[in-house]
A and B are shown apart, each in its own frame.
Chain A
Amino acid sequence: MSTGMLSDGIATSSIRRGMKAATPVVMGYIPIAIAFGILASQVGLGIAEAAAMSVFVFAGSAQFIAVGMIGAGNSIGAIVVTTFLVNLRHLLMSAALSPHLRGLSHKELAWFGFQLTDETFALHSTRFREGVPDVLESFALNGTAQVSWVLGTIAGVLVGGVVSDVDGLGMDYTLPAMFIALVFIQVHNSTYFTVGVLGGAAAMVFQVTGMGVWSIIAATVLAATAGVVLEQWKAG
């Protein structure tokens, strides 16, 4: 009985630490989730539909793109392929974290992967350098981040029904601003900088020349491949 109470106490403090560590992500997610909810309501999605996407997909940029594509009347196939390609970057993040998570069971890994986003990855990869915390702490961090994402989505749909002119609020700049921050943070050296500029420039050229949905994919493949070539060339 007493050992049960003791482990309950340890579990509670792990959960508290995880929730606290999620604070910057929560602050980042809420305005973006609200903007997502507003955009979702603008293309005709209801609370249940927008919230379901945030619960089951939980991928900020892919959700914005998917809703934008729904609004533009794209096919389900195009939306799913785009979502896959946009979220394929998580493969690397998942791979990068795996050496730190060997102690987890398959069930725990399966749950951890479900809530692996750019932002939770950013926190975990920093925290794991100082030792891997209790798994409950990591789950509390991820769970807090996702709860804020879902609640923000619901709030956004509710606001979206009232606010008709969101353009004046500048809320449509949340995604570009988030991407500016993420690109900036991911530029570790001149090769990353070159890859970013090349990817951005190629995407614009491909879009202007009418490659449509494939322009992002083609630009990404081109720029990443150039990054590998450049790195090999620099290494001599």
Chain B
Amino acid sequence: MESWIVLTILLMMIVTYVPRTAPLLFLTRFDLPKGVILWLKYIPVAVLSALLYPSILLPAGELDVSSSNEFLVAALPTMLVVWCTRSLFWTVVVGVLAVSVLREMGV
């Protein structure tokens, strides 16, 4: 294994592990200010949306809201499945199937 990938994985591990564990270990002793907790509450939906929207709406780095954007079209059945089942597994399966079917059809 080359040293750059070892270093990358090691640093990724540290920066991932510390935020996951530090609050578990210290929160009972050092309470976060109320405003910070309020702000952190909105981070998950904000960051996931910031990652999601461009991946679906900017597939080639430019806005594509046409029916030839299979990621956007497949989002409809995908949202329907998560709304009905709340299952991560079936949502992913249906989303992937929808994209492969759309590509097979050459939409």
Given contacts A176-B56, A181-B91, A184-B79, contact A199 B45 (CB under 8 A): yes
Closest Cβ of chain B to A89, distance in Å, is 5
B16's contact among A57, A196, A198, by CB below 8 Å, is which? A57
A192-B19 in contact (CB<8A): no
B58-A208 in contact (CB<8A): yes
A91-B40 in contact (CB<8A): yes
- Cβ contacts A86-109/B at 8 Å (1 or 0 each): 111111111101100110001001
Interface size on B, residues (CB 8 A): 73
Interface residues of B in 39-96 (CB under 8 A from A): 39-58, 61-63, 71, 74-75, 78-79, 82-83, 86-89, 91-96
Please name the residue on chain A nearest to B25 by beta carbon. A109
- Cβ contacts A37-80/B at 8 Å (1 or 0 each): 00000000110110011001111011001100010000010011
B63-A204 in contact (CB<8A): yes
A57-B13 in contact (CB<8A): yes
Contacting residues, chain A, for B48 (C-beta < 8 A): 61, 179, 182-183, 186, 196
* Interface of B: prevailing SS: helix
- Cβ contacts B4-26/A at 8 Å (1 or 0 each): 11011111110111011111110
In Å, the complex CA distance between A161 and B98 comes to: 24
Closest Cβ of chain B to A80, distance in Å, is 4
A133 lies within 8 A of chain B by Cβ:
no
B96-A113 in contact (CB<8A): no
